[in-house]
Amino acid sequence: MGRKLLLEHINVPGINTFDVYRQNGGYRAVEKALKMTPDEVVEEVKKSGLRGRGGAGFPTGMKWSFLAKPEGVPRYLVCNADESEPGTFKDRFLMTHIPHALIEGMIVSSFALGAKTSYIYVRGEMMPQVRILERAIAEAKNAGYLGKNILGTGYDLELYVQPGGGAYICGEETALLESLEGKRGNPRIKPPFPAIAGLYGCPTVVNNVESIAATVPIINDGGDEYAKIGIGRSTGTKLISASGNLVRPGVYEIELGLPVEEFIYSDEYCGGIANGKRLKATVAGGSSVPVLPANLTLKLANGEPRLMSYEGLSEGGFITGTMMGSGGFIAFDEDQCMVRNTWNFARFYSHESCGQCSPCREGTGWMEKILRKIEFGEGRMSDIDLLVDVARKIEGNTICPLGDAAAWPVASAIRHFRDEFEWHVKEPVKCLETNYGLANYAVPIAKTEVTT
């Protein structure tokens, strides 16, 4: 059994209430942190090696240490709970079942950063979670852990929940800040980074839900203890959202460094591929990261087992590797159509592009149109290279990473499953006959099969 830091008490009845959470050791981190200096708290988080759990994997302690601290200017902590990356649902899970883990982390983190007002920006579709968090905040306030003069230490903190309006782009931190200011979610040009000029032009840190919740065990056990878990520069535990054709999809907390094969097939985790089918491909870190065929999912190009860690998943670069991303693990069984799935993702990015940068606005639209053409039997061979060309022209040419995120799934699907795209062009009639992409067409599955 891997160690559980965030989900240790997930099965305790009533853990979503303050009292039960408190009885299970909750809010000790607040008591401990408030006896330390803010700099000492930052130092513990730095020592822990915690890396941002939202997707970029940037070290959280380092991000905190960049925060500007000019005299007389308020500083803000904003929690990014705009979880919208396809394949990712860990934050919803955490906020639904253990909301106080986030509230406690917010108090610890706000104290470390010297923030007196903090916001949790929750995607608008999660209205039930907005209400859950508001109730948790009221409970914590009632118990003296929020509001004026917390636990008699003189530290004041107000915590508010802000619902978004339904826009994937607001998961990008500067778009999130624009949205929190009541505007359209158009990402800002950086620099200046939010650490210098963020919310209302003031120094701001934006952290993912899971990153903030992870500060609780870090303060409780110490940064050094946390850093002992995991592998190399991937320290601690990570919540993985498992979805797709698995026996037991759901949210799992893993120690970083777990072999991918164990995660997919072991009964402790996903329990294998559903309906006795074979694994065809995976998207390991949310829809934005490159898709990998089964063989490269389980093993590196040199035949060693692939591990679930920031370095393990990105081993091999984009040629034979992928990325940790947000930990949204999507498994595809042998019957799934890669063209249809790539079209689906392309439509998602086309829909969610904010429209600010031309390469993304136009490019995502064209990728969607070309992929739809291929999927519905009207594609030409030259369309496949055209897609690669469009993807290349989006990547790196936009203000925010949405452009890259749209380009990578398309480029990687063609890289690893080019024969499927070609089959769609060669067999337009069979294409049209297939419903929902569940075709038993003649793609040589043996190529992607791994005997274990």
Partner 1 sequence: MLKVEEQQPEVFPETLIEKFNEIISRYPEGKQKSALLPMLHEVQAVFGWLSVPSMDKVAGYLGIMPIEVYEVASFYTMYFLKPQGKYMLEVCRTGPCCLVGAEKVMAHIEQTLGVKEGEVTPDGLFSWRGVECLAACGFGPVLQIGPEYTFYENLNEEKVDQLIQDLRNK
Residues in contact with partner 1 by CB under 8 A are 74, 83-89, 91-92, 117, 123-128, 158, 160, 162-168, 179-185, 200, 241-245, 249-251, 283, 287, 328, 330, 332, 336, 340-341, 344-345, 348, 351-352, 354, 436-437
8-state DSSP, 448: G
Measured from the CB of residue 43, what is the shortest distance to partner 1 in angstroms?
Answer: 30
Q: Which is nearer to partner 1, 235 or 341 (CB)?
A: 341
Task: Decide: 102 and 61 in contact? Cβ < 8 Å.
Answer: no
Spatial distance between the Cα atoms of 266 and 295, rounded to a whole number of angstroms: 17
Task: Decide: 140 and 146 in contact? Cβ < 8 Å.
Answer: yes
Q: DSSP readout, 21-49?
A: HHHTTTTHHHHHHTTS-HHHHHHHHHHHT
Measured from the CB of residue 86, what is the shortest distance to partner 1 in angstroms?
Answer: 4
Q: Which is nearer to partner 1, 26 or 244 (CB)?
A: 244
For residue 279, the cross-strand partners are 333
For residue 250, the cross-strand partners are 242
Q: Which is nearer to partner 1, 234 or 243 (CB)?
A: 243
Spatial distance between the Cα atoms of 409 and 417, rounded to a whole number of angstroms: 11
Measured from the CB of residue 158, what is the shortest distance to partner 1 in angstroms?
Answer: 8
Q: Which is nearer to partner 1, 127 or 189 (CB)?
A: 127
Measured from the CB of residue 291, what is the shortest distance to partner 1 in angstroms?
Answer: 10
- Give the dihedral sign, CA 164/169/171/175: negative
User: 288, 295, 296: which is closest to 319 by C-alpha?
Assistant: 296
Q: Which is nearer to partner 1, 231 or 274 (CB)?
A: 274
Q: Which is nearer to partner 1, 83 or 315 (CB)?
A: 83
Measured from the CB of residue 352, what is the shortest distance to partner 1 in angstroms?
Answer: 6
Q: Where are the beta strands (DSSP E) in 193-233?
A: 204-208, 230-231
Helix (H, G, I), strand (E, B) or coil at 257: coil
Q: Which is nearer to partner 1, 235 or 356 (CB)?
A: 356
Measured from the CB of residue 85, what is the shortest distance to partner 1 in angstroms?
Answer: 7
Spatial distance between the Cα atoms of 432 and 435, rounded to a whole number of angstroms: 8
Spatial distance between the Cα atoms of 142 and 162, rounded to a whole number of angstroms: 20
3-state helix, strand, coil in the chain (%, to 5): 45, 15, 40
Q: Which is nearer to partner 1, 30 or 137 (CB)?
A: 137
| H or E stretch at 258 | strand 258-259
Q: Which is nearer to partner 1, 82 or 395 (CB)?
A: 82
Measured from the CB of residue 46, what is the shortest distance to partner 1 in angstroms?
Answer: 30
Count of C-beta atoms within a 10 Å radius of residue 2: 16
User: 227, 421, 259: which is closest to 342 by C-alpha?
Assistant: 421
Measured from the CB of residue 308, what is the shortest distance to partner 1 in angstroms?
Answer: 17
Q: DSSP readout, 268-298?
A: TTT-SBGGG--EEEEE-SSTTSPEEEHHHHH
Measured from the CB of residue 368, what is the shortest distance to partner 1 in angstroms?
Answer: 13
Measured from the CB of residue 391, what is the shortest distance to partner 1 in angstroms?
Answer: 17
Q: Which is nearer to partner 1, 127 or 432 (CB)?
A: 127
Task: Decide: 101 and 228 in contact? Cβ < 8 Å.
Answer: no
Spatial distance between the Cα atoms of 48 and 54, rounded to a whole number of angstroms: 17
